[in-house]
Amino acid sequence: MLHVVIAEAEVELVPAKIARHPVIKKEAARRRKKPEAMLLDSSVHHAAMRSLTDGKRRGRPDIAHYTLLALLESPLNKQGMLRCYLHTRNDEVIFINPETRLPRACQRFRGLMEKLFAEGKITSGEVMLLEMKRMGIAQLVRNIGSEHVVLLSEDGREAEPWELAAKLVSKRNPCVIIGGFPSGGFRGDYSFAHERISIFPSPLAAWSVAAEVVSSYRRCIADAKTQP
């Protein structure tokens, strides 16, 4: 079972510091929501975000959305061999049922995340689809119980995706961490990772990285089954 964590994802509600900004208030009035109940989104709130620390990095739920779609729609997930998690900049972890079907439209995904922040979980009947818990990434990885944890980073040792996958398939509960932010490095302490790997000479979008990792992992498993 491969575990993939989207770490430091820029998914958060509108901070109180900018809740009274005209851009925020206008959208809140249009959507009939409280400003602090809306998801921060740089495509809508960029004018208000200039005063925020890390303002150019924040408000990117689209990255989490596209990356989760790539993971959940992958053949590896559909074969029951993948678990994925979303860790936010504010140390919330979203546990995701592999059978979850996320909305394709970004606006609907925003609405789903807002509901999750408000209620802490999304269910379908008695089935838990999404659940949010206060948790740091180190605690999450400890709970996974991974024998080998890989942090994918631009400053890591260069390795082809298939090389990485070949190592992971031999480990118990391997865990791969992918950055869920638009640019720059990781902000937290990842000293618990066994190694840092870069799978391409130049930066890649998080969803491209995710697709490379899960497809390479699945091919390695298939190749192992066909060997005499």
CATH number assigned to the domain comprising residue 183: 3.40.1280.10
Alpha-carbon gap, residue 129 to 148, rounded angstroms: 27
Walk along the chain (228 residues) in steps of 10 and give the mean pLDDT of each run.
98 97 96 97 96 95 98 97 98 98 96 98 96 97 97 96 95 97 94 97 96 96 68
Is the domain of 24 the same as that of 88? no
Phi/psi for 225 (5° steps) reads: -70, -25
Q: 169 in a domain, yes or no?
A: yes
> Which of 155, 128, 134, 66 is CA-nearest to residue 102?
66
Is the domain of 140 the same as that of 198? yes
pLDDT for the residue numbered 130: 98
| Contact yes or no for 88/6 (Cβ under 8 A) | no
pLDDT for the residue numbered 226: 61
Q: 113 in a domain, yes or no?
A: no
pLDDT for the residue numbered 110: 97
pLDDT for the residue numbered 91: 98
Is the domain of 26 the same as that of 71? no
Is the domain of 43 the same as that of 71? no
Alpha-carbon gap, residue 88 to 93, rounded angstroms: 6
> Is the model's pTM score more than 0.75?
yes
pLDDT for the residue numbered 224: 65
SS3 (DSSP) at 108? helix
Residue 13: DSSP 8-state: B
pLDDT for the residue numbered 96: 98
User: What's the total number of domains in the chain?
Assistant: 2
Residue 45: which domain range?
16-51
The first and second tokens of residue 158, run together, are 């260069």
Alpha-carbon gap, residue 23 to 9, rounded angstroms: 23
SS3 (DSSP) at 5? strand
The Cβ of residue 141 has, within 10 Å, a number of other Cβ atoms equal to 22
pLDDT for the residue numbered 223: 74
Distance of CA 161 to the CA centre of its chain: 19
**Could you tell me where the DSSP H helices lie in 15-105?**
22-31, 42-45, 61-72, 75-78
Is the domain of 171 the same as that of 205? yes
Is the domain of 138 the same as that of 45? no
pLDDT for the residue numbered 222: 82
Burial class (CB in 10 A: 0-12, 13-18, 19+), 215: middle
Q: 117 in a domain, yes or no?
A: no
Longest dimension (CA), the chain: 67
